[in-house]
């Protein structure tokens, strides 16, 4: 089965751009607005959408995303709202929708049931930040059965053996963590990201997208010198929080302006 996420990244490349992957939490500031926000993001330059169901113990999220997800939980978010959001967004935009979920809610829901409901809603796959391929046998089997993408994370500290496992088991792209620590904007992206993408290529990764710390068009352009896609979260959540849908659209367009590849290089 062809990966819709890989196709979107390849389509951007064919158009002379790197891919722009945009993250937003589901349910912030409320479910309906979060659906509109994701649609707005896709309509203003995002090639792939990454949606985060709020979780009570978000170990990887920085303060801006944590505040948004806590607000969504306080407003009554339920796990089943994930599939409602994915279904509505997928119906309205062509950009593939990945869900970025901590592993515990997937297990609580039932791995096969989660995969079936995500596929039925039109979702493209799962990004799983806190489970490694060797512990993900049930998910690997369910995703193969349903045709969903499996996006695992690689970090600068990952061993060569771990990178082999990640590359072998990831589809769509490998999520390349630019710095150790939580998400959030950084003034300068860690040079470790460039080194890590190089290592992933050596291990056979066809597509690597870099996330954590990318907050402006210059960051996007810098990452796309060596990676296939740039993942932005905090800057988009802040734009939505402070400027509503119009502010989000403006920020998305500004970030997308950094995706043009310099073909003269």
Q: Which positions are annotated as active-site residues?
A: 50, 61
Question: Three-class SS of residue 232?
Answer: strand
* Euclidean distance between CA atoms 233 and 244, whole angstroms: 15
Residues 6 or more apart from 226 whose CB is under 8 A from it?
194, 197, 198
HSE-CB of 159 using CA atoms within 13 angstroms: 4
DSSP annotation of 47:
S
Instruction: Give CA–CA dist 61/70, Å, rounded.
Output: 11
Tell me the Cα Rg of the chain: 17
- Please give the DSSP secondary-structure letter assigned to residue 124: -
**Proportion of the chain in helix, strand, coil states, percent, rounded to 5:** 50, 15, 35
Closest alpha carbon to 48 in 140, 106, 124: 124
Q: Among 245, 191, 175, 187, which residue's Cα sits nearest to residue 213?
A: 187
Q: Report how many helices (DSSP H) and strands (DSSP E) the chain contains, helices first.
A: 11, 9
Cβ(177)–Cβ(223) under 8 Å?
Answer: no
SS3 category, 128: coil
CA–CA dist 250, 229 (Å, integer): 20
């Amino acid at each position: 089965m062809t990966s819709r996420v890989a196709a979107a990244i390849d389509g951007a490349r064919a158009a002379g751009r790197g891919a722009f992957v945009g993250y937003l939490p589901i349910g912030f500031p409320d479910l309906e607005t979060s659906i509109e926000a994701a649609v707005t993001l896709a309509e203003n330059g995002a090639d792939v959408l990454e949606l985060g169901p709020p979780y009570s113990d978000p170990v990887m999220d920085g303060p801006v995303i944590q505040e948004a997800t806590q607000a969504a939980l306080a407003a009554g978010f339920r796990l089943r709202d994930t599939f409602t959001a994915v279904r509505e967004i997928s119906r309205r935009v062509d950009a593939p929708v990945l869900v970025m979920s901590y592993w515990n809610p997937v297990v609580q829901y039932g791995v096969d049931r989660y995969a079936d409901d995500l596929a039925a809603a039109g979702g493209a796959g799962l990004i799983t930040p806190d489970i490694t391929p060797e512990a993900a046998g049930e998910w690997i089997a369910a995703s193969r059965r349903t045709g969903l993408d499996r996006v695992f994370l690689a970090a600068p500290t990952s061993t060569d053996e771990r990178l082999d496992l990640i590359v072998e088991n990831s589809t769509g792209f490998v999520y390349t963590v630019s710095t150790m620590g939580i998400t959030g904007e950084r003034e300068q992206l860690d040079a470790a990201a460039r080194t890590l993408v190089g290592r992933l290529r050596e291990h056979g990764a066809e597509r690597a997208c870099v996330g954590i710390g990318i907050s402006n068009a210059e960051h996007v352009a810098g990452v796309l010198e060596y990676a296939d896609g740039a993942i932005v979260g905090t800057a988009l959540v802040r734009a939505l929080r402070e400027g509503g849908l119009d502010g989000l659209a403006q920020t998305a367009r500004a970030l997308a302006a950094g995706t043009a590849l310099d073909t003269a290089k």
